[in-house]
Amino acid sequence: MKMEDMPLSGPDNTKLEALVNDIYSELVEDACLGLCFEVHRAVKQGYFFLDETDQESMKEFEIVDQPGVDIFGQVYNQWKNKECECPNCKRLIAASRFAPHLEKCLGMGRNSSRIANRRLASNNNTSKSESDQEDNDDLNDNDWSYGAEKRAKKRKSDKSQNSPRRSKTLKHKNGELGSSMSADPYKYNYNAGINYEMLGPDEVRSFLTTQCGVISEHTKKMCTRSQRCPQHTDEQRMAVRVFLLGPSAPVLPEADSVAGPESFDIPDGQALMSRLQWEDSPEISPSDSASSKASTNHSDSRRPKKKKRPPLGLNSGGGIGSLSGGGGSGGSQTNISLSTKKKKPKLTAPSISSIYDDLN
Amino acid sequence: MSKDYQLKASINQKLIEMGERERLKELLRAKLVESGWKDQLKAHCKDVVREKGLEHVTVEDLVTEVTPKGRALVPDNVKKELLQRIRAFLAQHTAL
């Protein structure tokens, strides 16, 4: 071997170079052949074109390189408006609100269990009532009690706020009450008289010079706002003054009978008002009559309010009556009140006129 | 002629015996993959296969189509390196 190599490599370099090239091309052909085998095998096994996709899908999955989006072209704070479906109530809830909602929905919070139970109960009610009506009697009761509770609450809140709506809703009731009670004017007056006896005539007078004083139907208390209080009409104020200070024993029931029914007409009211004024104060000033007229006109423009007035007195009277206690004590007090009523006009008639003068 | 053939055969045997041929082959393969030669040839193969039809492709077809291109596409630096290695081997063994 050595002997063979030596002489051959020695003499000519070109032969050696040719040999080197041969070896090289052999190697390259080897590599090509290897590749060919590989490709052929892939073709025959069917996986040669697996990585091939058409141009459209290639474009679809192109990497996006734009500011504000990720490589898939999506905005990255997309999770913010993601919504999840609640597994309990099947509603879509914003992801950020999901946990609190679930807590409530599944009834794991403090109050939520009650809410959930109630909801469940009501659901059961509706579904059951279709199928059988006997079983859900108690459930219905539950529902009723809940509703009643709610209603009671509503009423309470209505009472607490001194809304005109409330007085309107109670108007009819009072009207009925008034019609039944107006048959006995003395009783009515007695009831009202007792109330303000407690204050004392001087106190009442001083109170009425500065405050509105209209008696609330519900609280049975006098309005402590100023004389110009917008909640009550001038007419109401006047009625209260006449009622408390004036000689109104025969007058007010009459006014009630006139004002009570729906057919309240202006001339009557005006006449009544003027009569009230005249009876209250013999020497009435023109301004007084004007004010009374204005008040009547004012009240005429709002008729429904007018109806409110007589019940107001009645209601308060009724309330006081019950307060003072019925039975034997009531009888004795009637006498007292009547006697005070008789005394009152003489005492208060001049003072009322002075009040109105002050007012005007 | 016979002498050349004899010489060539003896050198090939020497290459295989020493394991140099395997080493060179491996080196060449790595270099070609590295340079992208393999991907180029593969793309060419795809064309050939599509042209012939998936079912009718033979290894012979591929070899005749691919080999000339493969030879031409080998990068110069790879070729030079390989030739250098072979020359060095021959020089080493003729020197002995």
Count helices and strands in chain A by DSSP H and E runs: 16, 2
Which chain A residue's Cα is nearest to B96? A2
Q: For residue A178, how many other CB atoms are within 10 A of its CB?
A: 24
Residue A120 token pair = 């469940």
Q: Residues of B with CB below 8 A from A43's CB? A: 49, 54, 57
Using a CB-CB distance cutoff of 8 angstroms, which residues of chain A are in contact with residue B24? Answer: 27
**Which chain B residues touch A16 with a CB distance below 8 Å?**
87, 90, 94
Instruction: Tell me which chain A residues have a C-beta less than 8 angstroms from the C-beta of B86.
Output: 20, 23-24
Tokens read off for A170: 């109670």
In this structure, the number of other CB atoms found within 10 A of the CB of residue A325 comes to 10
Contact at CB, B82 and A24, closer than 8 angstroms: yes
pLDDT score at B24: 92
The residues, any chain, with a CB within 8 Å of residue B23's CB and separated by 6 or more, are none
Can you tell me the mean pLDDT for B5-24? 88
Distance from C-alpha of A306 to C-alpha of A302, rounded to nearest angstrom? 7
Q: Kindly report the nearest CA distance between residue B29 and chain A, in angstroms.
A: 7
Residues of B in contact with A19 (CB under 8 A): 7-8, 11, 90
What are the C-alpha distances in Å from A342 to residues A317, A337, B96? 18, 9, 157
Chain mean position to CA A27: 91
% of residues, chain B, pLDDT over 90: 41
**For chain A, which residues lie within 8 Å of any Cβ of chain B, measuring from their own Cβ?**
1-2, 4-6, 8-10, 15-16, 19-25, 27-37, 39-40, 43-44, 48-49, 52
CATH of domain B22-92: 1.10.246.140
CB count in 10 Å sphere of residue A95? 12
B70 contacts in chain A (CB < 8 Å): 28-29, 31-32, 35
Nearest CA in chain B to A6: B94
Q: B23 — contact with chain A (CB < 8 Å)?
A: no
Q: How far apart are CA A257 and CA A271, in angstroms?
A: 14
**What is the per-residue pLDDT for A74?**
73
Assign B95 a pLDDT band (cuts: 50, 70, 90).
low
Q: Output A118 or B51, whichever has higher pLDDT.
A: B51
Q: Per-domain residue ranges for chain B? A: 22-92
Residue of A nearest to B15 (CA): A23
Compute the mean pLDDT over every residue in chain B, rounded to the nearest whole number: 88
pLDDT in tens, chain A (360 residues): 444 444 444 556 788 888 888 889 889 999 999 999 999 998 888 888 887 777 777 777 777 787 777 777 777 665 566 778 888 888 888 888 888 888 888 877 666 566 666 666 776 665 544 444 444 444 444 444 444 444 444 444 444 444 444 444 444 444 444 444 444 444 444 444 445 546 666 766 776 777 777 777 767 777 777 777 777 888 887 887 777 777 554 444 444 444 444 444 444 545 445 555 554 444 444 444 444 444 444 444 444 444 444 444 444 444 444 444 444 444 444 444 444 444 444 444 555 555 556 555
Q: Where are the beta strands (DSSP E) in A114-256?
A: none
Reduced to 3 states (helix: H, G, I; strand: E, B; else coil), residue A212 is coil
DSSP state, residue A229: -
Q: What's residue A247's pLDDT?
A: 56
Q: What is the ipTM of this complex?
A: 0.91
Q: How many residues does chain A have?
A: 360
Q: Parallel, antiparallel, or unpaired for β A92-94 and A83-85?
A: antiparallel
One-character DSSP codes across A36-101? HHHHHHHHHHT-TTTT---HHHHHHTPPP--TTB-TTS-BGGGGGG-EEE-TTT--EEEHHHHHHH
Stretch B48-74: mean pLDDT: 88
Instruction: With CB atoms and an 8 Å threshold, state whether A20 touches B90.
Output: yes
pTM: 0.36
Contact between chains at B67 and A8 (C-beta distance less than 8 A): no
